[in-house]
Amino acid sequence: MGIETILIIPIVMYSIILHEIAHGYSAYLLGDDTAKTQNRLSLNPLNHIDKFGTILLPALLLIMSGGKFAFGYAKPVPINPYNFRDFKKDSGITAAAGPLTNLLIAILLSLILRLIIGTKTELNNFEVLFLRVLISGISINLFLMLFNLIPFPPLDGSKVLGAFLSDRAYMRYTAQERLGMTLFMGILFLNYILKLDLFRIFERPLMFMLQLLTGLDF
């Protein structure tokens, strides 16, 4: 494992954690204090880390992809949608808060990158390494945003889409979360074993957004 990958891991971990905190905080603003009462709005990583989803899975994916790809999850923030004033709409807003947070993280890292590039005429080895870590952090957060917006249970996009469905269709659609997670893990496994590289579908939109935020050509 290279030094670059080691430096990327905490960025990935906190990107995932902040994603979950955003869910809980938006739910709190919309009337559900479940996450707050269970101390899940804290920045303390110990309150959010899932040993497999937050540490092992993204670390393995980073190693296998050479630092180019990572996906993971924290302990899901507990949300009781029955506390919302509008069940479907507020559930959709709460779900969208996670991917939006990843976009904001990517924008923040891009601003740091642009600041460094704009004030330097020549970069030393450490600065080059730091810029590469920033670019990886931006790319990973953009991927987390795009991936989570897929309208496939249990991903956030399913609840965002659900806000526009009828009540009956919403309940039937979002009830498939457990099956959806099983299918997703199976797809990840087959993608690696058969070397299908299914995640290439994200390559073009991700590169477009990466170039737009950083101002760099890749």
* Known catalytic residue at 20: yes
Distance CA 21, CA 165 (A): 26
Which of 141, 34, 43 shows the shortest CA–CA distance to 77?
34
Query: Could you give the residue ranges of the DSSP H alpha helices within the chain?
Result: 3-29, 34-37, 57-65, 87-119, 125-148, 156-162, 167-174, 177-193, 203-214
Degrees to nearest 5, angle at CA 205 with 200 and 207: 85
DSSP 84: S
Residue 155 · residue 147 · CB < 8 Å: yes
Sequence letter at residue 198: L
Q: Which of 4, 20, 122, 203 is catalytic?
A: 20
- Which residues participate in catalysis according to the annotation? 20
